[in-house]
């Protein structure tokens, strides 16, 4: 059974010719793609939140408010850059760089087309998990270097949350790796004769929720609980440094959307349309889902967020891994599609069971 019958021409590893030319071209492509998509995401989310909350949203800068991200960038750039007098100036300066660079480096192994990527590593998904984990260092540096108790508390919350959700996130990826038989992002897309979201629905849900928690998106944005810790680790940042943290958030959202597209939605594969266009459509679809969750679900408490990781997502990720292992051993790759409806039924059953005996603390605070 194959949903995708469109096989684009594979680009050579040194396209458009030569090692350094290949790297130069794809570095430019990645930078332009990331910055353009970030500006598009910011505009789309702000306009969309306006509609969800029955208000207009930005509509003054340019037609339909399209130039609002540009206006925001100009405003931030002309603001004064303030460093706390008793803060660690070097750490304070380096923190946004350390947070932003790993989020950007993820795109080195994201395939936009068959063979169209900066580096086709045979451990591509392992590289993604490793590099994305480095961003937490920048967050803690920001909290520590600011010499502010509230920024430090916000940073420690963010670190605890990211470390906790990294475990179910990594376990949910293993199911995809078992089915694809490869750690290469390009090979994972090539292995999807049908999208892996149909074979790994539970893995998709776990990855989606854990990834949203890792990048502190609502309802997991505890580090921005203003009533408790006044905006978290970046409270002492202004000007361009604050803008970099703002960019980090949307760069991470873009990275998560691209990774989900690659692992679960067939990447660039699809009929009729060009591969890169399919990739963009799927990325925007995932971002819309992330934005929809943000605009709909209220923020959880810190004890509820941590309990959700350890009491809900981690056991479900282990169950998903066991089920996937049994299916891969029992069935040849050509017949894995036959368990598609069984896996969907398992997701529904587990959701019903977990909702019966799993609670997030109710009206009391759990530690």
pLDDT of residue 366: 47
pLDDT of residue 5: 46
CA dist 248 and 12 (Å) reads 31
**H helices within 149-221, ranges in order?**
149-180, 185-190, 196-199, 201-214
pLDDT tens for the chain, 367 residues long, are 455 544 445 666 666 677 778 788 888 888 888 888 888 888 888 888 888 888 888 888 888 888 888 888 888 888 888 888 888 888 888 999 998 888 888 888 888 887 667 777 888 889 998 898 888 888 889 888 888 888 888 888 888 888 889 999 999 999 899 988 888 888 898 888 888 898 889 999 999 999 988 888 878 877 665 555 577 788 888 888 888 888 888 888 999 999 999 999 888 888 888 888 898 999 999 999 988 888 888 888 778 888 888 888 899 999 999 999 898 888 887 777 788 888 888 888 888 888 776 665 555 544 4
Residue listed under structure tokens 């946004």: 96
| Residue 329 CB-density burial (10 A; 0-12 exposed, 13-18 middle, 19+ buried) | exposed
pLDDT of residue 7: 47
pLDDT of residue 6: 47
DSSP 96-118: HHHHHHHHHHGGGG--SBTTBSS
Cis before residue 219, ω within 30 degrees of 0?
A: yes
């Amino acid at each position: 059974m194959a949903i995708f019958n469109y096989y684009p021409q594979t680009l050579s590893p040194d396209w458009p010719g030569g090692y350094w030319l290949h790297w130069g071209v794809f570095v430019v492509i990645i930078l332009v793609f990331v910055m353009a998509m970030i500006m598009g995401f910011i505009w789309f989310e702000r306009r969309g939140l306006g509609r969800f909350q029955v208000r207009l949203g930005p509509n003054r800068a340019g037609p339909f408010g399209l130039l609002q991200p540009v206006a925001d960038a100009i405003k931030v750039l002309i603001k004064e850059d303030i460093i706390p007098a008793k803060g660690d100036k070097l750490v304070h300066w380096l923190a946004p760089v350390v947070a932003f660079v790993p989020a950007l480096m993820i795109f080195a192994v994201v395939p936009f087309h068959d063979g169209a990527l900066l580096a086709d590593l045979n451990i591509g998904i392992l590289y993604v998990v490793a590099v994305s984990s480095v961003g937490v260092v920048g967050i803690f540096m920001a909290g520590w270097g600011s010499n502010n108790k509230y920024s430090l508390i916000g940073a420690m919350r963010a670190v605890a949350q990211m470390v906790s959700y990294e475990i179910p996130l990594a376990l949910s990826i293993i199911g995809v790796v078992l089915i694809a038989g490869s750690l290469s992002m390009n090979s994972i897309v090539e292995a999807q004769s049908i999208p892996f979201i149909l074979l790994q629905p539970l893995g998709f849900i776990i990855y989606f929720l854990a990834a949203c928690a890792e990048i502190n998106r609502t309802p997991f944005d505890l580090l921005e609980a203003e009533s408790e810790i006044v905006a978290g680790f970046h409270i002492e940042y202004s000007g361009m440094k604050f803008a970099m943290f703002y960019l980090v958030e949307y760069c991470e959202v873009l990275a998560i959307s691209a990774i989900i597209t690659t692992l679960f939605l067939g990447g660039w594969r699809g009929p009729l349309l060009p591969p890169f266009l399919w990739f963009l459509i799927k990325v925007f679809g995932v971002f819309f889902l992330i934005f929809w969750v943000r605009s709909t679900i209220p923020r959880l408490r810190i004890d509820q967020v941590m309990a959700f990781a350890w009491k809900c997502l981690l056991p479900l990720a282990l169950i998903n891994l066991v089920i996937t292992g049994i299916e891969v051993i029992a069935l040849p790759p050509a017949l894995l599609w036959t368990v598609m409806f069984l896996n969907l039924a398992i997701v529904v059953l587990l959701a019903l069971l977990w909702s019966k005996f799993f609670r997030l603390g109710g009206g009391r605070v759990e530690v």
